[in-house]
Chain A
Amino acid sequence: MLIKEDYFKNIFNTVRNSILILDENLRVLLANRSFLTTFKVDSRETVGSLLYDLGNKQWNIPNLRVLLEDVLPKNTTVDNFEIEHDFESIGHKTMLLNACKIIEENNNHPIILLAIEDITEHKRLEDLVIESEKRYRRVFETASDAILLLEKREGHIVQANPAVEKLLGYFENDYKGKKLQDIGVSIDTSDFPAIMQNLNKEGAIYYNDISVETKSGQQIYADIYMVDRAELAQCNIRDTTKRKMTDESLRDSTAKLHTVNKELESFIYSAAHDLRTPLRAISGFTDILLKRYTGQLDEKGKDYLQKIWKGTERMSSVIEDLLHLSDVSRQDVQRRWVNLSEVALSIVGRLREAAPGRKVDVTIQQNLEAQADPGLLEISLSNLIGNAWKFTSKTRDACIEFGTIEKDGKLVYFVKDNGAGFEQQYVDRMFQPFHRLHTASEFDGTGIGLAIVERIIQRHGGKIWAEGEVGKGATISFTLA
């Protein structure tokens, strides 16, 4: 190749690729600016040196040397010779080399033009793409979703993964070249270009709860989405039949449960009203008999009337307690910051007012706060402190304590008393409705208080438990979530 010198030099020093001009001995005659910059060398250490001596012999690559040494005598070229090498000045790189013979004008000595292109980044990206394609292929082949690749003009199926056969029953000759509707997918793709336009704009298109007819005529439901895969559109089909059935079943069950709860609520209140009415008559008129007609009755008669009266009181308590238990089970828990110390203090105040003669030493830890439903928590503490008050009624030097301890990283509230206590072996029965651990003659009550408290604590996500000893007292502890 004949070239004009100046013209050549301008191009030589402007191009981005590194270029060396070598003589027949592969000695560097010229190095362009790009070479000097890329390999971090200067002209003095480069020009005049043998190629394979440059940069601590980093170019002393046997294959390259052989190729270059053939260029002049055999009039060959080096075309896209790729070398991966650790270059001393620039580290591990991949270079693409091209070389050819040049004949200088007015000079018959041929020279070698060696162009060096750093393709390290290009190779890295190429490898990433190959790896990505491999991964995609793995996913494509093994996915449980049916995946179809569609050409973008009219939406004909080009390729599909094995899941298409599993899910829909269609083989390659059933779907190749066909459209989605032809394989039972009820999506209108008649204006496929419009769909592609939308896909281009949105990035992905979703279709939920689409009816799909399989090859065998079975109806299934699927969520379908389309994404762009450059030359093709990818369509994923996921079978949601089971989920849809579960959702519908769950909705049915929830609706039925709601109805049952409403009916139960109605029943409970009707029952309470219908029980209270005759009870009121019994208790009201018994009361009148006791007050106005007592003179006309002998002791036995009075005693029997007292028994009737007490029976009605008890029945009334049971009805009230049943209603409370039902209420706390259904009421929404509305949490707010509650000062438990103040609530406890108020409850103790009411108890003292009702029994002014009693001397009970009550200790309430100060500033106890919790996030809880104020109404429900008041009911709980009222029951717990009320129980402690009751079961210490026969105790000399009665003591009641309300406080907290830390246990296993959790805050545990407790109500403790030194009253009648209970047999620890029967502790589980304490929280069951209407189960009592003492007779009515020892201590009155319906046996529902702790069941109500347990329900409330559970509604707050907490736990409740009891420890006691006969004659020594009891401690009821609880946590709030």
Chain B
Amino acid sequence: MHTVLIIDDEPDDIELATIALNESRPDIDVKSALGGIPALALLRSRGNKSELILLDLKMPGMNGIEVLRAIRADDRVKEIPVVVVTSSSLKSDRVKAIAAGANEYIQKPMSLDQFIQDLKPILHRWLPN
């Protein structure tokens, strides 16, 4: 089983992403955190087994870029690949995310099918079977 951590402040988005991940790969165990601070706490905990992070950018309080920087600054977790999944279509956000250390960047699609399509190659790259 591979563990994927979803960091997003929207419970509905977490649920949709979870469904998309499970439908893409039955060998994925999905964990989630409703924001940056609980996410970092989870990542730094002893039981953390996250192998891939799906990170939202626009979150209240600690935003996605700040979370990303914190992950990359922490030796314990800095190697975990991070895919930014965001509704922002601004090029500047994309640039900021890549500069902060994101491995990939996708826009949150409207349809579940599209989400599954977008996730397949990402999962293949970072969580090979």
B112 at the interface (CB under 8 A from A): yes
Partner of A280 from the list B19, B58, B87, B90 (CB cut-off 8 Å) is: B87
**Given A269-B90, A284-B12: A276 in contact with B112 (beta carbons within 8 A):** no
What number of residue pairs across chains A and B have CB atoms under 8 A from each other?
47
The number of chain B residues touching the other chain, given as a range, is 10 to 19
Chain A residues within 8 Å of B115, by CB: 284
Partner of B89 from the list A281, A284, A288, A323 (CB cut-off 8 Å) is: A323
Do the beta carbons of B112 and A280 come within 8 Å of each other?
no
B129 at the interface (CB under 8 A from A): no
Do the beta carbons of A277 and B13 come within 8 Å of each other?
yes
Interface residues of A in 228-260 (CB under 8 A from B): none
B79 at the interface (CB under 8 A from A): no
Q: How far is the CA of A320 from the CA of B110 in the complex (A)?
A: 12
Interface residues of B in 94-118 (CB under 8 A from A): 108, 110-113, 115
Q: How far is the CA of A474 from the CA of B13 in the complex (A)?
A: 43
Q: How far is the CA of A276 from the CA of B110 in the complex (A)?
A: 8
Proximity string of chain A (294-330) to chain B, C-beta cutoff 8 Å, 1 when within and 0 when not: 0000000000000000001100100010010000000
Do the beta carbons of B87 and A277 come within 8 Å of each other?
yes
Partner of B110 from the list A272, A273, A279, A323 (CB cut-off 8 Å) is: A279
Do the beta carbons of B112 and A273 come within 8 Å of each other?
no
Q: What is the minimal beta-carbon distance from B50 to any residue of chain A, in angstroms? A: 23
A283 at the interface (CB under 8 A from B): yes
Main secondary structure of the interface of B (DSSP, over half): loop
Q: How far is the CA of A313 from the CA of B110 in the complex (A)?
A: 8
Partner of B16 from the list A272, A285, A291 (CB cut-off 8 Å) is: A285
**Given A269-B90, A277-B13, A277-B87: A284 in contact with B110 (beta carbons within 8 A):** yes
B48 at the interface (CB under 8 A from A): no
Closest to A283 in B: B110
Chain B residues within 8 Å of A281, by CB: 10, 12-13, 16
Do the beta carbons of B88 and A284 come within 8 Å of each other?
no
Chain A residues within 8 Å of B90, by CB: 269
Chain B residues within 8 Å of A283, by CB: 110-111
Q: What is the minimal beta-carbon distance from B92 to any residue of chain A, in angstroms? A: 10
3 nearest CB pairs, A to B: A281-B12, A284-B16, A287-B112
List B residues at the A interface (Cβ < 8 Å).
10, 12-13, 16, 19, 58, 87-90, 108, 110-113, 115
